[in-house]
Structure 1
């Protein structure tokens, strides 16, 4: 059983059911925390549709929290959600600007995770 993330009829990530549900739940919680939409909407197929403009804004805001905090716990909590979101954003043909202190590490983590999210 899967949990697909789709954009315009194209599957960006055919997540395992539990992985997809957990990611969508974490994104909903982060969006609530950030007081903005996540850009992910549950669909009839049992997954989520990705609205690219809102999703990109969500990922930018998530990166803002990640990159600006001195709180190690908040930084680490945001990291997993951020890296997964960067892979999904890349597949939706979106991008955000990563600043030098974080860019190399995040891009490396994104590449590793992208292979696992095939």
Structure 2
């Protein structure tokens, strides 16, 4: 079994249930902490709709927080999810861009990994 993370009719990612639940819980915590909507919709029987405008803003905010952070543990926690957020935004063509040299360096490093975002049919 797996979830699907969709923008309209386009499935961006299809992780297994446990990965999806951990991801969504982490995103919810970050969204609450920074008081910004994540753009990740509710779990509707394994289908999750992404609002591309809200999601892009959310990823930009998390990227900015990570780039300016000087806290080792905060960095480690954000590093656990931010690469996935960036990969999803990139796959959905949501235009996440660096606004500072630190943000650009982070994006360049993450994008070099070329994270596979498997769909359920892969």
TM-score using structure 2 length: 0.84
1:58-97 CA deviation, whole Å, 9 max, x = no partner? 0011011100111111111111211000000011111222
Answer whether contact 1:23 1:81 (CA < 8 A) is retained: yes
Number of corresponding residues: 117
- Structure 1 residue 84 and structure 2 residue 68: aligned? no
Q: 1:53 to 1:76 in 2, by over 3 A?
A: same
Where does structure 1 differ by over 6 angstroms across 4 or more consecutive aligned residues? none
In 2 relative to 1, CA 66–73 (structure 1 residues): closer, same or farther, beyond 3 Å? same
Q: Tell me, which stretches of 5 or more residues in structure 1 are unaligned?
A: none
The answer (yes or no) to whether the contact 2:4–2:48 under 8 Å persists in 1 is yes
RMSD over aligned CA atoms reads 1.8
Q: Distance in 2 between matches of 1:90 and 1:28?
A: 20
The answer for unaligned runs of 5 or more in structure 2 is none
Where is the strand percentage greater, Structure 1 or Structure 2?
Answer: 1
- Of Structure 1 and Structure 2, the greater helix share is in 1
Q: TM-score, normalised by structure 1?
A: 0.87
Higher relative contact order structure (alpha carbons within 8 Å, sequence separation ≥ 6): 2
